[in-house]
Structure 1
Amino acid sequence: MDFNAWRRRRISEPAYRWARNAMPAMSATEREAIEAGDSWWDADLFTGNPDWRKLLSVPPATLTPDEQRFIDGPVRDLCGMLDEWDISWNRRDLPPHVWEYLKTQRFFGMIIPRRHGGLGFSPYAHSEVVRRISAYSITAGVTVMVPNSLGPGELLMQFGTQAQRDYWLPRLADGREVPCFGLTSPEAGSDAASMVDTGVVCRQVVEGRELIGIRLNWHKRYITLGPVATVLGLAFKMSDPDGILGGPKDIGISVALVPTDAPGVEIGRRHLPAMQVFQNGPNSGRDVFVPLDALIGGVERAGQGWQMLMSALAAGRGISLPSLSAAAAAMCAHTTGMYARVREQFGIPIGKFEGVQERLASLAGNAYLVEAARRLTCAALNQGVKPAVVSGIMKYHATERMRVSVNDAMDVHAGRAVMDGPSNYLGSLYRAVPIAITVEGANILTRNLIIFGQGAIRAHPYLMPEILALGNPDEERGIEVFHDVFWRHLRHAGMNTLRAIGRAWTGGMLAPAPASGPVAGHYRRLGRYASGFALLADATLAQLGGGLKRREMISARLGDILSELYLLSAVLKRWEDEGRKHDDLPLVRWCMAQGFASIEKSMDQVLRNLPVKALSWALRAAILPLRLAKGPDDALTRECAELLLKPSPTHVRLAADLQREPGEDPLGLLTRAFALADAVQPIRDRLRQSNVRNWREAHQRGAITDAQAAQLEAAEATVLKVLQVDDFAPEALTPLGEGAPVQTQEQKPEPQSESPQPQQPESQPPQPPQQQPPQQPQQPQQPQQPQQPQQPQQPQQQQPQPPQQQEDEPPAAARPGENA
């Protein structure tokens, strides 16, 4: 017997049978979720020896001339029409002329190919449009985001029949049809297997002809654009109890297109998600009949709904919310830096206090990192890759860093950001945070189950082939494949153990770097942590096996390590792509120091919680002999904070084209005050050196010129305007329910057994609402100057006021039932 045959009989076959018995059963939905999308840079990180030259060779994401023209034209014009306070407080919806503009300019058809009437934009252009709109209005950003993400358009392009594409895509592109997608129900969120929404194959006479179709019963909630949608993409469990189709009786999750005006559809009521007013609401259907050709992809795609959804989500989750999060992080860093410069306490800018500088450094670092990761992910998507694990990383970490950034900005602004009104530019972002955290896969689920759970199988170089071999119904063939992959896996693990030990004990000096220079050490340390992660992942999987699915905290920490490796790779890639800007090095160093400390903390927590302590000690000696990463030091923190406190190219790059022109709107005033404060600082420094505290007295004594005094006066007056907060006349804040209660409707979880409640009179029809706004819609402003928001009513003076009401009509804030 040769050595290979001996290994197979004595080692591989027993290992195969043990692993086959130990491996937990994988549900169909789990398998489809795992198999969706592609692996990409995450697979390189899982090898323990990432190829940095491969990463740096990825072309940066760029815009085509047509895409840039759209950004400079329609997107800029749209942003000029948006007044988030008027949208959220007065109208509780986008103005009618904005809805019309979105349709005529084909904002809802960005991802639809030009041959079908869409714009045919790249993923990066899609991301850029959403990012820029979101910086002006969360409501508008979400409204544009949803039709271009997971929904009928994306599903039709990937899976629709040619006839479906030819009919639906042009209508979706030009806004004749407004889409929504119904997946979540009271009984089933992330667990699609619990879905109770049904579709039964049946025969029904329609207009004198007997048709084979599907009788649908469902109840959905949290559906964005649902109240105004004209076509509903519906996920449901399909069955054929009478065998009409000649196949299995239980067909599985399927997706169909349902016109919202079909008999039996109840739609139009609205949710109010965290006081955000983008269109979102429940819908239901009772005995709604649709023909078989309503199934996306036709009968051939029946039962493939979950696979279709996971495939579409693999790309979309990496675009939509990361784009909104990047906008939020950039705006928070940009505005908070300016505010911390112009706001003074004890005679100095608050940005000079170290407690505030700690928050400013976090804001600057997170803005740089999230934008870097967004660009790298879009670069992969532009190449046609659908990186499922990376998309999960982006969804979780972009929104979590958005949460940190918004909270930091609120803390620095203090009362200025707490008082709501037209001049509060942070309030809407703050209210949007829980929505971003929750949708497209709740963050707790994403971190604990998806990132490492999916990544370990998809991105690991050997685990997926081993699992497929273990699941092969032909045991002989399964053993043969397993034997080959198993020994290659062992050789890989052995080499990676030696690599991890060598790199850990030398502080990464044995790891390669693609180039010399100030960031070469960062590449080496990332290589060191990648080797340690690969070894730790293999050891944890070997020790816990299928039990890792239940050890969610360990899985989450391993996912955190993988995520940090990806995000820090993106930081280095951005620095290289932008031409190695020396002024940006403090941000790179801050991100690295913060990320390295997070990686070591997560490694330590995994090692402390592994059940076999001897293995834990051995692994600690191999990959974490000393915990050297302590995070950014105080000097680096101050250096990063200073980047936000003065106009500079770095500050401009952090704002990422979202900065406003000086003007009279809240952000325009802040921009002007920031520039004026910087311009007069040399004058103030000279006065301070002369122990002169009052510039007016200095002017009277001739210590400063008339021109310098005028500069100081203009700066002081502008800063005073920036510091003002909104207040309202009592009648402008009349309780919404005064006079008549807001009507709500008890949701019925089982429309199959009980008829839906009739619509309330105030329910909106399934098209963009035509409710009467508090005043006539304002006309769009010129794109160069965003529409100036209305100021709240002041008790002391008659200007600026909330919109005037008709006589005997309550103020907008008091109208019961409007848009309920």
Structure 2
Amino acid sequence: MALARMGAGDFGTRDGGRMIRNPETHAARLAAARALVDTVLIPAEARMDAEDRLPDEARAALRAHGLFGISIPETHGGLGLTMEEEAELMLVLGRAAPGFRAVYALNSGGAAQILLRAGTEAQKRRWLPWLASGERIACFCLSEPGAGSDAAALATTARRDGDGWVLDGHKRWVTNAPEAGMLMVMARTGGEGARGISAFALDPATPGVHVLPDQPKMGMRSARVADILFEKARIPADALVGAEGEGLKLALAGLDKVRLHLAALSAGLMERLIEEGRAHALRRTQFGRPLAEQPAIMALLADSAAEALAARCMALELARARDEGRLRPAEAAAAKLFATEALGRVADRVLQAHGGEGYMQGSAVERLYRDARVLRILDGTSEIQRLVVARGLLSA
């Protein structure tokens, strides 16, 4: 069953301080997502990891369920979900390896959100239906050899030339670059700092755009990553999204949404790891009794369950807060910080509970352990999240 889209009439009334959409439709959507995870995604994990690519049947299923358009309005072909609905969906989808999300999330994430905030109607009509359907894969080109967490230091330039622009620069660690059908590029059009950066939407087939070979990674192997070089790449005037100098502001405006996504995803992955740990503890016997009866193993699982529950509650509560317009940036950063750091601890505990079996290449725990590590880096490292939380606290 595909994930159901909802029309304008599907909004219900307020209940318990939040807007409830049609509960039957949403329940059906979550049930479909659970079936997708259990019957298609989890069975494809080992192959995805070994081949470093998303299997065709998994890609087709993700497209059929509308997951490339989670955050894109229905008017442009997406699911048009509220933040709370997205969080609940990510809790379910998070049980599968996070590499699946890495393939579809950029379509409705950074690229689409910038277009929705500042794009012209022509730009929206051109790009959003493609992105929502998954017909084209989006890339978000921000990081550079000299600009990672310090995004305002980027050096890629876009200079006016006649009735268009010329792009020159080097973007690093671009997720999905080898299969990109659309690039959202941050480039410097003015002076130094954040206010000199603009956003551009362009086709990767543009002459002067060079996607370099794939870069091997520790985990998340389905999400292909490569550098992109821009060498006198000429793009039309209408590639500029929003006003000149607003690019980084537009990129950062959607971080609270991304951080809540990652918090919910991490909570879901913790629950999957705990399932793996529980199953192992029940079937494995040591010293004449199941591991599940060993106090040390019980403690590992209990601590993990407590952190998973806390992350789940944070993600859902703050998703409701965002829907109601009361979310603060520091809260979204706190959720991402806690959930991704807790995920690291849970992955480590569950691997420890598996002993040598968990460390062996090819086991589900070994794969998920590797995949989980990057979530403390993506979309703002834990160190950056701490800065955001601290600044929010100290400026209150």
In structure 2, how many angstroms separate the alpha carbons of the residues matched to 1:85 and 1:65? 34
Letter in 1 for 2:40: M
Q: How do 1:199-598 residues align onto structure 2 when only pairs under 5 Å count? A: 199-203=158-162, 212-239=163-190, 252-267=196-211, 269-277=213-221, 278-297=223-242, 301-319=243-261, 321-421=262-362, 424-447=363-386, 449-457=387-395, 460=396
Q: How many angstroms does 1:158 deviate by?
A: 1.4
User: How big is each residue's C-alpha offset from its partner over 1:136-180, in whole Å with a ceiling of 9 and x where there is no partner?
Assistant: 23221322333232x211111112122222222112112232111
Letter in 2 for 1:306: L
User: How big is each residue's C-alpha offset from its partner over 1:697-753, in whole Å with a ceiling of 9 and x where there is no partner?
Assistant: xxxxxxxxxxxxxxxxxxxxxxxxxxxxxxxxxxxxxxxxxxxxxxxxxxxxxxxxx
1:162 and 2:121 aligned: yes
Q: Is the 8 A contact 1:403 1:433 kept in 2?
A: yes
Match of residue 789 from structure 1: none
In structure 1, how many angstroms separate the alpha carbons of the residues matched to 2:360 and 2:111? 40
User: How big is each residue's C-alpha offset from its partner over 1:167-209, in whole Å with a ceiling of 9 and x where there is no partner?
Assistant: 2211211223211100000011121232111011111xxxxxx
Cα gap change, 1:385/1:163 in structure 2, threshold over 3 Å: closer, same or farther? farther
Counterpart secondary structure, 1:273: coil
In structure 2, how many angstroms separate the alpha carbons of the residues matched to 1:64 and 1:255? 38
Q: Is the 8 A contact 2:282 2:291 kept in 1?
A: yes
Q: How many angstroms does 1:69 deviate by?
A: 2.6
Q: Is the 8 A contact 2:139 2:183 kept in 1?
A: yes
Match of residue 721 from structure 1: none
Q: How many angstroms does 1:251 deviate by?
A: 6.7
Q: How many angstroms does 1:413 deviate by?
A: 1.2
Q: How many angstroms does 1:60 deviate by?
A: 8.4
User: How big is each residue's C-alpha offset from its partner over 1:386-436, in whole Å with a ceiling of 9 and x where there is no partner?
Assistant: 531111101111000001111111111112211222xx2211210013211
Cα gap change, 1:66/1:453 in structure 2, threshold over 3 Å: closer, same or farther? same
Letter in 2 for 1:265: V
In structure 1, how many angstroms separate the alpha carbons of the residues matched to 2:132 and 2:354? 41
Q: How many angstroms does 1:281 deviate by?
A: 1.7
Q: Is the 8 A contact 1:270 1:279 kept in 2?
A: yes
User: How big is each residue's C-alpha offset from its partner over 1:752-781, in whole Å with a ceiling of 9 and x where there is no partner?
Assistant: xxxxxxxxxxxxxxxxxxxxxxxxxxxxxx
In structure 1, how many angstroms separate the alpha carbons of the residues matched to 2:38 and 2:97? 8
In structure 2, how many angstroms separate the alpha carbons of the residues matched to 1:328 and 1:234? 30
In structure 2, how many angstroms separate the alpha carbons of the residues matched to 1:255 and 1:137? 31
Q: How many angstroms does 1:384 deviate by?
A: 4.1
In structure 2, how many angstroms separate the alpha carbons of the residues matched to 1:280 and 1:454? 33
Cα gap change, 1:75/1:115 in structure 2, threshold over 3 Å: closer, same or farther? farther
Q: Is the 8 A contact 2:107 2:134 kept in 1?
A: no
Q: How do 1:709-724 residues align onto structure 2 when only pairs under 5 Å count? A: none
Out of 80, 86, 89, the position equivalent to 2:47 is 86
Out of 137, 145, 151, the position equivalent to 1:178 is 137
Counterpart secondary structure, 1:426: helix
Q: How do 1:549-698 residues align onto structure 2 when only pairs under 5 Å count? A: none
In structure 2, how many angstroms separate the alpha carbons of the residues matched to 1:368 and 1:61? 22
Question: What TM-score do the two structures reach when normalised by structure 2?
Answer: 0.88
In structure 2, how many angstroms separate the alpha carbons of the residues matched to 1:61 and 1:430? 36
Superposed CA RMSD in Å reads: 2.4
Letter in 1 for 2:203: P
Letter in 2 for 1:165: K
Out of 135, 149, 155, the position equivalent to 1:190 is 149
Counterpart secondary structure, 2:196: strand
User: How big is each residue's C-alpha offset from its partner over 1:768-812, in whole Å with a ceiling of 9 and x where there is no partner?
Assistant: xxxxxxxxxxxxxxxxxxxxxxxxxxxxxxxxxxxxxxxxxxxxx
Counterpart secondary structure, 1:275: coil
Query: What residue ranges of structure 2 are gaps of 5+ in the alignment?
Result: 1-14
Q: How many angstroms does 1:267 deviate by?
A: 1.5
Letter in 1 for 2:114: L
Q: Is the 8 A contact 1:87 1:93 kept in 2?
A: yes
User: How big is each residue's C-alpha offset from its partner over 1:436-465, in whole Å with a ceiling of 9 and x where there is no partner?
Assistant: 111111112322x221124433xx1xxxxx
Q: How many angstroms does 1:341 deviate by?
A: 2.9
Cα gap change, 1:330/1:60 in structure 2, threshold over 3 Å: closer, same or farther? farther
In structure 2, how many angstroms separate the alpha carbons of the residues matched to 1:282 and 1:67? 39
Cα gap change, 1:112/1:133 in structure 2, threshold over 3 Å: closer, same or farther? same
Q: Is the 8 A contact 1:326 1:402 kept in 2?
A: yes
Larger radius of gyration: 1
Deviation larger for 152-161 or 326-335: 326-335
Q: Is the 8 A contact 1:127 1:323 kept in 2?
A: yes
Aligned residues: 378
Q: Is the 8 A contact 2:76 2:129 kept in 1?
A: yes
The structure, 1 or 2, with the larger RCO (C-alpha pairs under 8 Å, 6+ apart) is 1
In structure 1, how many angstroms separate the alpha carbons of the residues matched to 2:33 and 2:277? 28
- Bigger strand share: 2
Match of residue 682 from structure 1: none
In structure 1, how many angstroms separate the alpha carbons of the residues matched to 2:358 and 2:206? 46
In structure 2, how many angstroms separate the alpha carbons of the residues matched to 1:322 and 1:62? 22
In structure 1, how many angstroms separate the alpha carbons of the residues matched to 2:21 and 2:64? 25
1:137 and 2:97 aligned: yes
Question: What TM-score do the two structures reach when normalised by structure 1?
Answer: 0.44
In structure 2, how many angstroms separate the alpha carbons of the residues matched to 1:385 and 1:289? 42
Letter in 2 for 1:120: G
User: How big is each residue's C-alpha offset from its partner over 1:607-658, in whole Å with a ceiling of 9 and x where there is no partner?
Assistant: xxxxxxxxxxxxxxxxxxxxxxxxxxxxxxxxxxxxxxxxxxxxxxxxxxxx
Cα gap change, 1:236/1:110 in structure 2, threshold over 3 Å: closer, same or farther? same
In structure 2, how many angstroms separate the alpha carbons of the residues matched to 1:70 and 1:293? 37
In structure 1, how many angstroms separate the alpha carbons of the residues matched to 2:146 and 2:390? 26
Cα gap change, 1:454/1:220 in structure 2, threshold over 3 Å: closer, same or farther? farther
